A and B are shown apart, each in its own frame.
Chain A
Amino acid sequence: MSSNRLADAASAANRFGLGAKPGTLAGLHDARGALAKEARDGAVNAGAFAGLADGAAYLAEENRYVLDRRMRRREAAAANASGKDATGENAIQAAIGGFRRQFGPKLLAEAGARWQVALAAPLGFAERIVRFWSNHFAVSVDKRQALLYAAPMEREAIRPHAFGRFEDLLVAVESHPAMLRYLDNQGSIGPSSRIGMTRAGQGLIGTNASEAGSAAVSPDTAPRRRRGLNENLAREILELHTLGVDGGYMQADVTELAQAITGWSVRGPRDDRIAGAFGSGMHADPKTGFVFREYAHEPAARSILRRRYAEEGIEQGRRVLADLAVHPATAKHLSFKLARHFVADDPPPALVRRMAVAFLDSGGDLRELYLALLRSDEAWSGDARKFRTPDDFLLAALRALGTEQVPDVRMAGALLARLGQPVFMPRSPAGFPDTAASWIGPDALLKRIQVAGELSSRASRVLAPGRIAGDALGPHLDAATSQAIARAESPRQGLGLLLASPRFQWRI
């Protein structure tokens, strides 16, 4: 294999993919072709997610849990009031099992399946793309209402659409319970909608399941909360998901978009009761749990970015998203982020422009965007490199060791948290940062070296660290690193040296 081919293979596996496995580089004769094939075919993972619940099933279970807890609490309050019994919150939790006990194993199963797919992928370019979009459309599960839905959103909204039209991806994400709950759109109500105009309707739709309960269990005694518009999701759609912060929109566009997507909501614990009062006009997605509440939708035409959108119920919001998806500012924003993710912290402007043109010319086809990146010389330049984020690092280390399955999902999650990248928890809708400066710090580096030592000590068998190093880094294994590994006092320490070495921290 020529040196160019070797370099291409290493970049394909390490910079574009999730990390070379033993044997990957030697067997990769047409690296660019292999990536292009993944860009066209998408993320193939038959069976890995079988058995995991869909969003609607999680919603139904969480709603049942909320109703159950509420009922017990009411019973306890009644018993307390009549002096019969003093049942505390602990007893209620014990009786119904507690949130963690009920849902914890499911969250672990989700994380385990996600890692399994990432470890199994031969190169992992398509898997990296999936993770890129998950971070672009970040949902942070430290918001309890979003906790159960981040993983289903990746499976149901991102995977099926990340290799198709951006419009479809955008609509799928913005109408997923994860996003609607994370950015507070589920309880956003048009002031002139049917429910907004009805006094009795005020307070019927909650911002989250537990809150919804407190407002409506006893409508006569509970303070009636005025509900209305929430512009959080609309703002982040414009600022983070599509146009970008310099994309030329104004505060008025944010408010208009917020009104256009009023009624985009999530099936709640009291929807049967609401349906009784406002029966007609509830459109539901039986798989994700999304519901469109026509009676909460602001019934008027909207003007966004100087374009008029007639009132068409759920179609109004969809039409806005369709236009935003192919806006030149969106093309630029997405191209920049993608180039930054795959090529360099400061990607070449010519590359970004070329990608944006390809995206717009294809009417917003993401495959064309990826192919434009892969066809560009800049993407294969010897200077291109990215610092591995903690998630990249952990995956690359496990893949280099030939690990097929994360042995201890709980521990892997804890390691990532200590390295500063807890799973699905970027703590901000902007997602985790994607530049080296954010991840290179003395303390962060020390922890990473510590984790490298930990991983090598847990590796089931270590035979030839020198060969593992060659398989992982290919032509980027330099003489000094190679020598240090060869001189290690034990194969295990040699492996630790490889994983902790500076070369291993870069996607080159």
Chain B
Amino acid sequence: MASRRDVLKLIAAGAVALTVWPRIAASATAAPPLLLVVMLRGGLDGLHALPPLGDAAWGGLRGALPFAPGDPKAKPLPIDRDFALHPSLAYASQLYRQKALLPVVAVAPPYQGRSHFEAQDCVENGSAHPNGAPDGWMNRCVASLHGEQGLAIVTAMPLIMRGAANVSTWSPPLPDGIDAQLLQRLDTLYAEDPRLAEAYARAVAESHEEGAGEAGDAGRGNLPDAGNRRAGAAGGLAAMMAAAGRFMARKDGAQIAFVEDSGWDTHAGEVAALQRKLGQLDAGLQGVHDALGAAWDRAAIAVVTEFGRTAKVNGTGGTDHGTGGIAFLAGGAIAGGRIAGRWPGLSAQDLNEGRDLHATTDLRALFKGLLKDHLGVAGAALDAAVFPGSAAVRPMAGLVRT
């Protein structure tokens, strides 16, 4: 077992960073660009969230599926000649009109199987394979932005944020405070545990963090309408997105943050499930907008999922695992008000294996476009370190305002 001295040596060598919030190396000049990734686990049905009404085959495949349970008259909100937004995405459609929402169609990680877990691993590890990298691309992105930090709004560290760089997790705190004396007495014990020393030191720094009270409120308060049922529970997607916005808006806050949500795997009863879930996402977009305040203008929010779903409705009022999915980019920094990505079509001969939408954009191209043009990550680092072996995947151009 490593001794305390070994751990200190590691720290000195820069392998382990011990600070949480105080940004040591970052310049105090211009306020940095912000990136929030929101991962919808389970596979969001893009054909239901952004129905392609202009595709002649859509009506035959999906026309019978209503947008609200028991209400065949509920209509999606048209935003474009060919596409409309699900009626639960009212705030998003407002953002679209303000050119701050950019839907990207037929996008997916470079993975053709239909396993949730493998596809999610691809999205998170940033490689072309489920086991292509042991840590996450957001962590490597933090590493490439020397002195920056990442924050995951979750109780357990997700793969996408795992790695050597300075990242931490946050979730709404327990109601009671922590015993400072207990922490102090544990100090030397944790320093001796090579696996836990770093996490502990950061935990302590966090507990001392000035304004912890404010952070504590982030999970609950200040949603546009806290009583709104759309906003859901304190631990729900909308509250987590608002909390991320709050952390990022702070002076020394995280530049890169991650929020996740589950329950998007709609094999059955899709109409009711997505009406509720998309409402939460919509409330989350509004929550993060309001929490960011002036920082909204330098923020890019990427809402992604691991794959799309079958074009046809299955036998149980839902859809099964597919391929080409959808992503939504939002934020003041996004060049929105249009649809991005190439639409592969839904006609029988256009479908992938006769069952789902082809993916025409590699999700890594989208991420790389944001990292390059928004965060200013250098091309060489993008191709080799952040998204290993991805030189052939060109960054999507024009995602952010210039």
Q: Is A211 an interface residue (CB 8 A)?
A: yes
Q: How far is the CB of A101 from chain B (nearest CB, A)?
A: 19
Closest B residue, CB atoms, query A222:
B70
Q: Which of A184, A235, A445, A450 contacts B174 (CB 8 A)?
A: A450
Q: How far is the CB of B70 from chain A (nearest CB, A)?
A: 7
Interface of B is mostly: loop
Q: Which of B186, B199, B200, B314 contacts A229 (CB 8 A)?
A: B314
Whether the pair B267, A184 counts as a contact (CB closer than 8 A) is yes
- Among B114, B199, B353, residue most surrounded by chain A Cβ atoms (within 10 Å): B199
User: In the complex, what residues of A have CB within 8 A of residue B190's CB?
Assistant: 502
Q: What is the bound-complex CA distance between A480 and B169, given in angstroms?
A: 29
Q: What is the bound-complex CA distance between A232 and B114, given in angstroms?
A: 11
Whether the pair A501, B196 counts as a contact (CB closer than 8 A) is no
Q: Is A505 an interface residue (CB 8 A)?
A: yes
Q: Is B12 an interface residue (CB 8 A)?
A: no
User: In the complex, what residues of A have CB within 8 A of residue B155's CB?
Assistant: 418-420, 441, 443-444, 447
Whether the pair A436, B182 counts as a contact (CB closer than 8 A) is no
Q: Which of A189, A442, A451 contacts B315 (CB 8 A)?
A: A189
Q: Which of B69, B178, B181, B199 contacts A441 (CB 8 A)?
A: B199
Whether the pair B20, A442 counts as a contact (CB closer than 8 A) is yes
Whether the pair B186, A230 counts as a contact (CB closer than 8 A) is no
Q: Is B203 an interface residue (CB 8 A)?
A: yes
Please tell me which stretch of A117-125, A170-178, A325-333, A426-434 contacts chain B, meaning at least 4 of its Cβ atoms lie within 8 angstroms of it: A426-434
Closest A residue, CB atoms, query B163:
A437
Q: Which of A231, A484, A493, A497 contacts B320 (CB 8 A)?
A: A231
Q: What is the bound-complex CA distance between A1 and B70, given in angstroms?
A: 71
Whether the pair A441, B179 counts as a contact (CB closer than 8 A) is no
Whether the pair B315, A449 counts as a contact (CB closer than 8 A) is no
Whether the pair A436, B195 counts as a contact (CB closer than 8 A) is yes
Q: Which of B113, B183, B269 contacts A449 (CB 8 A)?
A: B183
Q: What is the bound-complex CA distance between A228 and B115, given in angstroms?
A: 21
Q: A227-B315, A437-B162 are in contact. Are A445 and B189 (CB under 8 A)?
A: no
Q: Which of A207, A452, A503 contacts B317 (CB 8 A)?
A: A207
Q: Which of B41, B170, B313 contacts A443 (CB 8 A)?
A: B170
Chain A stretch 434-490: residues in CB contact (< 8 A) with chain B: 436-447, 449-454, 478, 480-481, 484, 487-489
User: In the complex, what residues of A have CB within 8 A of residue B202's CB?
Assistant: 442
User: In the complex, what residues of A have CB within 8 A of residue B226's CB?
Assistant: none
Q: Is A403 an interface residue (CB 8 A)?
A: no
Whether the pair A442, B316 counts as a contact (CB closer than 8 A) is no
Q: Is A349 an interface residue (CB 8 A)?
A: no
Q: How far is the CB of B1 from chain A (nearest CB, A)?
A: 10
Q: Is A500 an interface residue (CB 8 A)?
A: yes
Q: Which of B152, B188, B203 contacts A445 (CB 8 A)?
A: B203
Whether the pair B189, A230 counts as a contact (CB closer than 8 A) is no
Whether the pair B269, A211 counts as a contact (CB closer than 8 A) is yes
Q: How far is the CB of A244 from chain B (nearest CB, A)?
A: 10
Q: Is A285 an interface residue (CB 8 A)?
A: no
User: In the complex, what residues of A have CB within 8 A of residue B157's CB?
Assistant: 437-438, 440-441, 444
Chain B stretch 236-281: residues in CB contact (< 8 A) with chain A: 262-263, 265, 267-269
Q: How far is the CB of A423 from chain B (nearest CB, A)?
A: 14
Q: How far is the CB of A157 from chain B (nearest CB, A)?
A: 22
Chain B stretch 306-346: residues in CB contact (< 8 A) with chain A: 313-318, 320-321
Whether the pair A228, B185 counts as a contact (CB closer than 8 A) is no
Whether the pair B179, A207 counts as a contact (CB closer than 8 A) is no
Whether the pair A235, B189 counts as a contact (CB closer than 8 A) is no
Q: A230-B268, A500-B186 are in contact. Are A442 and B200 (CB under 8 A)?
A: yes
Whether the pair A433, B178 counts as a contact (CB closer than 8 A) is no
User: In the complex, what residues of B have CB within 8 A of residue A484's CB?
Assistant: 185-186, 188-189
Q: A207-B317, A227-B316, A440-B196 are in contact. Are A446 and B203 (CB under 8 A)?
A: yes
Q: How far is the CB of A355 from chain B (nearest CB, A)?
A: 22
User: In the complex, what residues of B have CB within 8 A of residue A451's CB?
Assistant: 174
Q: Can you name 6 A-B residue pairings with CB atoms under 8 Å?
A: A184-B267, A232-B267, A245-B117, A251-B114, A442-B169, A444-B157
Hey, which bits of chain B sit against chain A, CB under 8 A? 20, 41, 64, 69-70, 72, 113-118, 130, 152, 154-157, 162, 168-171, 173-174, 176, 178-179, 181-183, 185-186, 188-190, 192-193, 195-196, 199-200, 202-203, 205-207, 262-263, 265, 267-269, 313-318, 320-321, 353
Hey, which bits of chain A sit against chain B, CB under 8 A? 142, 183-184, 187-189, 191, 207-208, 211, 214, 223, 225-232, 235, 239, 245, 251, 387, 418-420, 427-428, 430, 433, 436-447, 449-454, 478, 480-481, 484, 487-489, 493, 496-497, 500-503, 505
Q: Which 7 A-B pairs have the closest CB atoms?
A: A228-B315, A420-B155, A207-B268, A442-B202, A442-B203, A502-B193, A441-B169
